[in-house]
Chains A and B, each alone.
Chain A
Amino acid sequence: MIGAGVALLGATEAVAAELGPTVARPEGWIGTTAQWTQGLGLALGLINLVILVLAWRGLRRGGSVVAVGGMLIVGLTLLPLVVTFVGYLHGFHGMETVQSCGGCHVMTPYVNDLTDPKSEGLAAVHYKNRYIQENQCYICHSDYGMFGTAAAKMAGVRHVYYHVTGAYTLPIKIAAPYPNVRCLGCHGESQKFLKSEAHGGEVRTQLVSGTASCLDCHAPAHAPKEAR
């Protein structure tokens, strides 16, 4: 049992390594919560399948429904609920990665620029210096709070729809002006920002109110090679 658990953890680590950065972040000897969630989900899903197969065979052999009733209750109601819940947990977490955002070919130039150490785009500077540790696309393109997360997920589903149906034009453009609050959420209270003369007085008021954009001075956010 323990061996199976270790093997499962190894398998999930292999998948995580495939998706993750080239230099692994420190995570301790026992793996991350995400890896355990993934392993648990895979294990429960496989158990669910085994139970369904056993129930099928029970019915096929002419066994009474009462005899396989327990398996049906577990396999058709309880375990699917748990697997779906774990799927949500793992899916939401996994969709926040840069690899996931770059999954659509239309985003490839932007992800290539983001991860290019030679790029001087604002996003690339944040990425190469690890100002943001992980999930860089998601962190900068989602608003704060629970509704910010929900809105980002809904926008993501909409993007998939556009991608699948081809309902977009190139070059793609950001749907709405980039709000300063996403920059100020991290930089707003930093000493570098507060002590900067360029950010003082009227400028700070304008930045906080949103009448001036951070990108007015700090553009371009992205500088994909195709556009350079």
Chain B
Amino acid sequence: MTKLLRLAIVVAAAGIVLCLWLLARVTWYTFFLFMVVAQPLLLAAFVLFAIAILQDFARRKGA
């Protein structure tokens, strides 16, 4: 679970860095990266987080 959470953190951090790039300087390139890369990364981080939580619930239920 910790590995999943770490992966989620790294993925989210990459997405946030791209968001910061857009916020610092708006060009078509940064907006395109924001739309096509940053948002899927943030969504992936959320999904990984959700999976980690569900795994934890399942583990506790089994214990």
- Establish whether residues B45 and A76, one from each chain, have CB atoms under 8 Å apart when the complex forms: yes
Q: A84 contacts which of B8, B19, B25, B52 (Cβ < 8 Å)?
A: B19
Q: How many residues belonging to A are interface residues under a CB distance threshold of 8 Å?
A: 39
Within 8 A of A (CB), among B1-36: 1-2, 5-6, 8-9, 12-13, 15-17, 19-20, 22-32, 34-35
A38–B6 Cα distance when bound, in Å, is 29
Number of A-B contacts (CB under 8 A): 103
Contacts of A76 in B (CB 8 A): 8-9, 12, 45-46, 49
> With A49-B17, A76-B12, A76-B49 in contact, do A95 and B6 touch (Cβ < 8 Å)?
no
- Establish whether residues B19 and A103, one from each chain, have CB atoms under 8 Å apart when the complex forms: no
Min C-beta distance of A189 to chain B, whole Å: 33
Return the chain A residue nearest B36 by Cβ.
A157
Does B37 make an interface contact (CB < 8 A)?
A: no
Min C-beta distance of B34 to chain A, whole Å: 6
- Establish whether residues B23 and A103, one from each chain, have CB atoms under 8 Å apart when the complex forms: no
> With A45-B19, A59-B2 in contact, do A52 and B9 touch (Cβ < 8 Å)?
yes
